[in-house]
Amino acid sequence: MLPQMAPLNQGTSAYHHIHAIYTRDPTQGTLLGATGHRAEEVKASWRGFLDYAILHDRRNEYFIQTGGVRIHVFEIYLNNVLREAAADSASVISDLLVPERPARGFQGTRMRVYEVKLATEHQVRGVLMDRIEGCAEEKALCDWAGRFLVSHARLEATAVPYSEQDDEAAVLAVRITHLFARTLMYTMKEMDTKGNTPDRWEQGGFDAFARQVFFFTSRGLRVEFVLPAFPCKSSNLNRVSGYAPDKAEEIALRTLWWFTMDVEEYYPPGARITIVSDGIAVADCLGMHDEFADQYFAHLNVLKEEYFPSDPRIELISLHQLLEDKNGNAAPNNLPIDLPSYTETTTTEAAVNVRKLVIATAGIDDSAMRKAMEGAAQVKRNKEAAVAAMRKLQRQRQLDGGTSRRSTKKMDETAWKLHQTIRQDQTADEAFAAMYTDYVRFHMEDLADNPLRKLHPAHRQRLASSIGWEMILRHQAISNLLTVLFPHAVRFSVHALPNNGPAFAVDIMSRYRYQVSAVRAVRDFAPVDRKGVLQIPAPWNGCIAKIHGAAKHMLTTSGAVRDSIAEGAFLWEWTHDGGPAGTKWFRLQFTRTEAEHAWAKKYGAEQWKALVTGVGFGELRRFRREPLIVEEHEEPAPVVLLSRKKKLKLRLARKGRKVKQILGMSWKGFCRFTKGMWNNAVAGSEVVLDLNDLLTD
């Protein structure tokens, strides 16, 4: 969950009707564990209260037998049990009977319970949720969600006995936490107005991470991590080289795999990272066809099986697979949910059903988000008014000249109050507004290469705003879904977070195993400006380039590679390492010496591009918008000419085309541009120009 969304995670979906998911002993009824937003209340009121209701006071009980699994469904009436409960238990349960969010449809003291005992576990699983009195569609959805979650949530670990006093397990958890901090963890560097970093790893994040890891080390089990990521390649061909996974995805998968291997050095049971590919849930917002998103996941699976065949350390699943009920309980179809369509993409029925099911099961209501935006706007207006008042006060002080001590003291007090207003800590509303702004900025860039780029800039801005809003809603729905399906796993995120839990930001292109640098300009290795919640460099938003003979890989954009090629800086090849997966990357080789770079800098980049590419300026602009790789299976030829030993070789063909069309300037102007050294050039001949002569003036 994004931290900005924590106070806004409200709604009427099945997720918001669930109080807790618990496990208990099958014979004694002892509570083994509970998770959920009211888990602590359930733990406090279990003994002598909830356990009695669940074991001895079931109402309207029936069972469903599907796929060899027998699910018991019943209701409990807490009023009957409350009269027999102890006074302290009654006070503890009072909060449980008074919902925090009345809009959730909480029905007082009536609750519905789903319980199942799987043959492979010595425990009983249970889901405690509201008794729904709404429409038939809502009842059917919540009933399916209860049956699905009680049998598919990852709750196996709670059946294993453990000790809270296991010092060795605590030490192992701390070691794994330190390993994460120095390898995968992404830390935000930007400061607020008071010079403080938003990162909260040292202020509670370290302890939260260690506690989650201790859950597994205390039981001697493999540490479980879950990461929603690898949706699909960006639809912007100025960012990516194509729509299939390439070398960037390979490096990211290998980085995660190496992290699990390093965990094994400290802790022999090791770790497993479950990657949930969520592309099908957001493909229509990203301008990607559903079919391409499915192909991306299929290619990613091939890549994973080639490099980590049958390796339990890395698990790759899609939302299709995650929501597939293995017991044969079919999810409700034709849900009454209208999904907005902002981009011109083709959809599939299966993908649309998955999107609707995710939103209906774990979606949120955006009314709280709208209130947060209004609150942020009000805070902004207050700060702007404070700044204006401060400036007015300063002008008044200059005019008065500080004649009166009382007047000066009053001005100082007013200035202090205004100063406090201007520099107050960021509110929750402002944090959400900043996150939303970053989403909009990201999608404005993404739409730059979309057919929708032809829209008026104002229309494109509104479109990006709508897409950003919808993306926040869907990302939060996915986060809620993973919360209930992976209740004990340590959750990773590819968004920048303060790292104080429940999710922790990871840089899956981390340098600790591979020398990878995120750059925005290939020639001078200018680093990416990492600001905002979406700006952790991700493999699906770029491609890999590597200069021949260098050890470092560059995570960059295809547009940056194309610009360096157009400048004549590199020869290039779209190559791969071989194998069934065939991950591809740009192999670059310098074509210009330092003298040539100085020449290009002196006379301008546009003229240099026209010279080395042999195209006019208009054609050059069209070339920069076209994808470098038109077909995935074609090996394109280089588009620049070779230069060696400080000499540039350029073949001029006057036949059929005017020189102005080839060079972007008149022949007379070009001769004057090169000091007349080309006056005797013959059509079709090869002319060698010594660049050192041009650098002498």
pLDDT band for 414, please (50, 70, 90 cuts): low
Tokens at 386, concatenated: 């404070």
Contact 261, 312 (CB under 8 A): no
Amino acid 534: pLDDT = 64
User: What is the mean predicted confidence (pLDDT) over 217-232?
Assistant: 96
Residue 54 neighbours by CB distance under 10 Å: 22
User: Shortest CA distance to 162 belongs to which of 213, 208, 226?
Assistant: 213
Residue 419 neighbours by CB distance under 10 Å: 12
Which region among 43-52, 78-87, 157-166 has the lowest average model confidence (pLDDT)? 78-87
User: What is the mean predicted confidence (pLDDT) over 577-601?
Assistant: 63
- In terms of pLDDT, which residue wins out, 523 or 358? 358
Which region among 128-137, 293-302, 411-420, 572-581 has the lowest average model confidence (pLDDT)? 411-420
**Which pLDDT tens digit goes with each residue over 615-638?**
333 333 333 333 333 333 333 322
Fold equal for 3-158 and 163-365+471-505: no
- How confident is the prediction for the chain on average, in pLDDT? 76
Q: Which long-range contacts (CB under 8 A, 24 or more apart) does 148-151 make?
A: 148/323, 148/325, 148/329, 148/331, 149/18, 149/21, 149/114, 149/484, 149/485, 150/21, 150/71, 150/114, 150/115, 150/116, 150/125, 150/126, 151/69, 151/71, 151/116, 151/118, 151/125, 151/327
**Which pLDDT tens digit goes with each residue over 426-464?**
667 777 888 888 888 888 887 776 666 667 778 888 888
User: What is the mean predicted confidence (pLDDT) over 336-349?
Assistant: 86
* Ordered alpha helix ranges (H), 184-231: 206-217
Which region among 187-201, 354-368, 561-575, 618-632 has the lowest average model confidence (pLDDT)? 618-632
pLDDT at 29 over 60: yes
- In terms of pLDDT, which residue wins out, 675 or 317? 317
Which region among 159-173, 308-322, 411-425 has the lowest average model confidence (pLDDT)? 411-425
pLDDT at 216 over 60: yes
Give CA–CA dist 489/258, Å, rounded: 19
184-189-195-198 Cα dihedral, nearest 10 degrees: -50
Task: Indicate the domain borders of the chain.
Answer: 3-158, 163-365+471-505, 516-694
Amino acid 371: pLDDT = 86
User: What is the mean predicted confidence (pLDDT) over 394-401?
Assistant: 68
State the residue for tokens 């295809």. Answer: 558
Tokens at 681, concatenated: 């050039």
pLDDT at 361 over 90: yes
Amino acid 582: pLDDT = 64
Q: Which of 124-138, 169-183, 627-641: highest mean pLDDT?
A: 169-183
CATH architecture, domain defined by 163-365+471-505: 3-Layer(aba) Sandwich (3.40)
**Which pLDDT tens digit goes with each residue over 77-101?**
876 554 444 444 444 444 444 333 3
pLDDT at 532 over 80: no
- In terms of pLDDT, which residue wins out, 412 or 355? 355
User: What is the mean predicted confidence (pLDDT) over 466-473?
Assistant: 91
- In terms of pLDDT, which residue wins out, 380 or 278? 278
Give CA–CA dist 691/697, Å, rounded: 11
Which region among 342-346, 407-411, 658-662 has the lowest average model confidence (pLDDT)? 658-662
The fold for domain 3-158 equals: Beta-Lactamase (3.30.450)
Question: Rounded to 5 degrees, what are φ and ψ at 566?
Answer: -65, -30
State the residue for tokens 């001590």. Answer: 405
**Which pLDDT tens digit goes with each residue over 346-358?**
899 999 999 999 9
User: What is the mean predicted confidence (pLDDT) over 179-208?
Assistant: 80
Q: Please state, for a pLDDT cut of 70, what percent of the chain lies above it.
A: 69
**Which pLDDT tens digit goes with each residue over 64-83?**
887 788 999 999 887 655 44
Which region among 127-141, 260-274, 663-677 has the lowest average model confidence (pLDDT)? 663-677
Amino acid 156: pLDDT = 92
Amino acid 643: pLDDT = 32
Amino acid 401: pLDDT = 59
pLDDT at 309 over 50: yes
